[in-house]
Amino acid sequence: MHVAFVLPRFYPYRGGYENSLLALSKHLIGRGHRVTVFTTVADDLEAFWLPGFKTFPEEQITVDGVKVHRFPICYSKTRRRASRLLGMLPYWRWKAQFWRPSFRIPGLHEALRAVDADLFHIGPLPYTNLMYAGLQAAEARGVPVVATPCAHLGEEGNDEVARHYLQPYQLTILQRCAKIFCMTRTELQMLDHLGVTAGKVVVPYGIDLALAVGGNPEYLQQRYNVHGPVILHLGMKAFEKGSVTLVEAMTTLWERGSKAWLVMAGPSLSAFDAYMAANAQGRPRLLNLPAFADQEKRNLLASATVVAQPSRVESLGLVMLEAWANTKPVIAADIAVSRELITASGGGVVVPFGDAKTLADEIEKLLANAELRRSMGTRGQRKAIEYEGTKLWPRIMQEMEQVAKPGTAPPD
């Protein structure tokens, strides 16, 4: 079986989705299958739309047996404006290709049409133009397509997040897939309610727990002279990820006399960088680190006292699982996905998104109670083991093998 993955970013970019697909790809190759990844040069999130942000070289490389093709992004404003006009027309194929947040990728469509894949895998939302490119190539070759949409549902009663993931044209793409891999039961139930997933949904991808454990618990003290409790925020730093709220919560605790540190590690959006630059004073116990390699991630997780990920844009929350693998308690935003994992495990607490005072109070409670931290971390670890990739990747591979055969595309 030859599987073609079509996605916006890939290794060495190390987001949760990208890590999952790299691990799955390596599993497929280890079982005798072939994998080719079609992706863009983007590293920074904003590089999809604006020049001057971090990118990888336009190249073809091999990563642990996975063939990776990186394609450039066109930044022509004239072409982009014309595309937006086409995206306004009421036809799902045009909306899928041209409506926000689409961007032109020269050479991608030609490469996808030429690949001899037995199965295409597309995702995640809301990068619908890439998903459509994979779907179109699959339909042209008469082979099946599967998707991992990673639909972010946000907060109940607030569609600021969900509206970017559940548009009719996006659901149409999913309906044309042979299988849909949902990360959580929450996502499954929502897509099922919308008539997308009947008979198509299978288990989520697992996490490679080995990439999260075995770090040095003295790392922050030895490397950065950080002494005392550590609140760790790992991954993308942005308002939607709760990063600003967390800074404000810790500021409240420092004003109360707390000696805890806030360590934030990972890439960031320019808006968050601007916020930090404008609010740099009076926060001597804040350590703001850039993107990290695997060993540093292990060290950071091992050094943490509490992991705080108060984000409202999650389809699973892999950092939560990585924290639990290290027996660390987690604080997350009060969204359905986080409640599904935390309520089932007892591995942490949830707080309303954007509520800095409540977040500060919950951090303070955990810092004051070592036994509560220990029990939450232990319960969370049991939950993380359920997502161990070695248990789930064979099941995903089996689902792929079952549908990897010539098929007939459904009518428009």
Q: Which residue reads 């971390």 in tokens?
A: 377
CB neighbour list of residue 366: distance below 8 Å, 6 or more residues apart: 305, 306, 329, 331, 349, 372, 373, 376
Share of the chain above pLDDT 70, in %: 97
Intra-chain end-to-end CA distance of the chain, in Å: 28
User: Could you identify the residue written with the tokens 């428009």?
Assistant: 412
Domains 2-206+389-403 and 209-386 share a fold: yes
In the chain, % of residues over pLDDT 90:
81
What is the domain partition of the chain in residue ranges? 2-206+389-403, 209-386
Please determine, looking at this structure, whether the domain spanning 209-386 carries the CATH number 3.40.50.2000. Answer: yes
Alpha-carbon gap, residue 18 to 161, rounded angstroms: 21
> Which tokens in the block code for residue 383?
């939950």
CATH code matching the domain that covers 2-206+389-403, chosen among 3.30.70.20, 3.40.1670.10, 3.40.50.2000, 2.60.120.10: 3.40.50.2000
Task: Please give the chain's pLDDT, 412 residues, in tens.
Answer: 999 999 999 999 988 899 889 999 999 999 999 999 999 999 999 999 999 999 999 999 999 999 999 999 999 988 888 888 889 888 999 999 999 999 999 999 999 999 999 999 999 999 999 999 999 999 999 999 999 999 999 998 899 999 999 999 999 999 999 999 998 889 988 998 898 877 777 766 778 888 899 999 999 999 999 999 999 999 999 999 999 999 999 999 999 999 999 999 999 999 999 999 998 777 899 999 999 999 999 999 999 999 999 999 998 889 999 999 999 999 999 999 999 999 889 999 999 999 999 999 999 999 999 999 999 999 999 999 999 998 899 999 999 999 996 443 444 5
Widest CA span of the chain, in angstroms? Answer: 66
